[in-house]
Amino acid sequence: MELNELEQQRVEKMQLLQDAGVNPYPIKSHRTHTNQAAVTAYEKAEANETPPPEVTVAGRLVSIRVMGKIAFAHIEDTDTKLQLFIRRDDLGEETYSLFKKGFDLGDFVEASGPLVRTRTGEVSVQVQMLQMLSKSITPLPYPKEYEKDGEVTRYAAFSDTEERYRQRYADLAVNSEIREVFKTRSRMISALRTWLDNEDYLEVETPVLQPIYGGAAARPFVTHHNQLKQNLYLRISFELYLKRLLVGMYERVYEIGRDFRNEGVSYKHNPEFTQLELYCAYNDLAGMMETTEQMVSYAAQKVLGTQTLTYQGNEIDLTPPWRRVPMRTLIQEHTGIDYMDFPDVDALRATMRSKGYDAADKATWGHLIDNLLSEVEPTLIQPTFVHDYPVEISPLAKLKLDDPTHVERFELFVGGMELANAFSELNDPFEQEKRFYQQGRAYEAGDEEAQPMDEDYLRALKYGMPPNGGLGVGIDRLAMLFTDQRTIREVLLYPHLRQRET
């Protein structure tokens, strides 16, 4: 293990501790209180006019000020900083000397003693015992502050943002606001689960490794099972497996888990991501709109304490009901193109190009329309259900009764990005088979995201699947919304990054 100069200096301090009989990595801690629990205990004793308790606390050293025979330090645990009031007379000459010479910012320590309030009014531990719990060899990139002419300049912990993602452990260690982002994400997922459980949805788990991928328009990751000599795919969706459970007489099911799509990386895309999918028998697209409104607004109220939030400078109101608009109407309003006037793909492509929009040579009619929607997407700040999609790009949804060119499907947009996708689910096995064949022809024509044929899913449909509504919600993007983060990397603990060049 190669060490730089600063790390070598800390190794020498570790050796100093070891020479004095101190184990820099003891087996366990004897903590009795978290930092916040210690402060609360002191304030309770103060209010009751009783002696404050003695405590044993633990955390990472985040500040040290030595002033002769006394020192002040702060330790930080998950939630709270707590001051340590350290006196040579309380610790003894030898331990106090070891503290000054062998302890550094970033070390995990344990401190025991009575709680006191210092002259500045800060609740502190008057340290009677101080123990090293874990010696930090690599200095953490703490933010630095410099004062000049009365102005304070603060430098971030990482000057290289990408390095924060590569060393997320260090990022979390020094940035409490980043830790709070992931606490909010966790509370959000918990709130979604609570709402679904209260609505009698059953949480299930479906295969990650699948012999046939499906349920979305995406390219899969391919892997190989050595013993079975079989190629498998990392799932791109839970959909087809969850809907099989409706055939098996469950009426409400959901899953929260990882999907994997072999696609590009952007501020809102990561090759692996977390998705919530749910299916509800005897329901349809309108019911899924109400489900989405109620579930997301409930989670916001539960987690944020409000249904109004700020995202990237825009105030967004999640209070139901949300706006509903047909895709055709929306695109025509924003681009001036009524795509139903151009049923021929070449005519639509030419019209789009004449108005300055991208229109790839191999794009199908449905994909060209989807591209037009992408032009509108950044303008959809308030919650908006865009519904009625071309059948060509929705092979698993039911046709509209009054329009065989479109299906009962919506996408939800909030803050200028897509958050959810829902259908009135197709349950006719013969129509589903026809759609699969259409997708197969699209694949042969160059559409690498087309759905493959799934004979077992068709077999399940032939047993009978009740009419139902299905919904998929992007958990990562919803977390972006709840925490006001512009990029998906800020809400993924370990986002995918390009390999470093050597």
d(CA 224, CA 234): 10
Q: Packing angle between helix 239-247 and helix 455-463, nearest 10 degrees?
A: 30
Q: What is the phi/psi pair of residue 346, to 5°?
A: -65, -35
Q: Which two tokens stand for residue 421?
A: 């996708």
Mean pLDDT of 425-437: 93
| Strands 54-67 vs 108-117: parallel, antiparallel or unpaired | antiparallel
| Domains of the chain in sequence order | 5-134 (2.40.50.140), 144-174 (no CATH), 176-322+382-491 (3.30.930.10)
Average pLDDT over residues 102-120: 96
Q: Which residues contact 439 (CB under 8 A, 6 or more apart)?
A: 395, 447, 450, 451, 452, 453
pLDDT of 199-252, one tens digit each?
A: 999 999 999 999 999 988 889 999 999 999 999 999 999 999 999 999 999 999
Q: Looking at residue 400, what is its pLDDT?
A: 94
Closest by Cα among 465, 363, 461, 473 to 410: 473
Q: How many percent of the chain have pLDDT more than 90?
A: 85
pLDDT per residue over 473-494, tens digit each?
999 999 999 999 999 999 999 9
> pLDDT tens digits, residue range 68-88?
999 999 999 998 999 999 999
At 444 the pLDDT is: 77
Q: Which long-range contacts (CB under 8 A, 24 or more apart) does 447-455 make?
A: 447/362, 447/364, 447/367, 448/219, 449/217, 449/218, 449/219, 450/217, 451/214, 451/217, 451/395, 451/396, 452/212, 452/213, 452/214, 453/212, 454/212, 454/214, 454/240
Q: What is the pLDDT of residues 392-415, one digit of tens each?
A: 888 889 999 999 999 999 999 999
CA dihedral 487, 489, 490, 495 (to 10 degrees): 170
Calculate the CA 346 to chain-centre distance. Answer: 40
Q: Poorest-confidence range of 414-428, 440-454, 468-482?
A: 440-454
pTM confidence score: 0.92
Query: What confidence tier does 152 reach under pLDDT thresholds 50, 70, 90?
Result: very low
Average pLDDT of the chain is: 94
Q: How many other CB atoms are found less than 10 A from the CB of residue 186?
A: 12
32-47 burial code (b ≥16 CB/10 A, e <16): ebbbebbbebbeeeee
Q: What is the pLDDT averaged over residues 10-27?
A: 97
pLDDT, tens digit (0-9, with 9 covering 90-100), for 257-294: 999 999 888 999 999 999 999 999 999 999 999 999 99
